[in-house]
Amino acid sequence: MTTYEVRVSGDLSSALLQELENIRAVQAAGTTLEVDVPDDAALWGLIDALRRAGVDLLELRRRESGPDQ
């Protein structure tokens, strides 16, 4: 499993957050999601879901795995 930080503009609706899987944390100031994805297909699925919802993706950053991950 790989963790990504996904920063988008604006706020996401609670309905969209429930639709998206494996989100561990949401931070204010724009919206930053911390998402666990098992593979590239799941990452593209997340990106497509955000696009369908009309959300502007600002940044996608892969988090470095620590020794316990």
Query: What phi-psi label fits residue 50: left (phi over 0), alpha (psi between -120 and 50 degrees) or beta?
Result: alpha
Q: Where are the domains of the chain?
A: 2-62
pLDDT of residue 6: 78
pLDDT of residue 33: 81
State which CATH number among 3.40.50.150, 3.40.50.970, 3.30.70.920, 3.20.20.450 fits the domain covering 2-62: 3.30.70.920
Q: What are the mean pLDDT values of the chain's consecutive 10-residue runs (69 residues total)?
A: 73 77 67 84 89 85 64
pLDDT above 90 coverage of the chain, percent: 4
- Read off the pTM: 0.55
Cα radius of gyration rounded to whole Å, the chain: 12
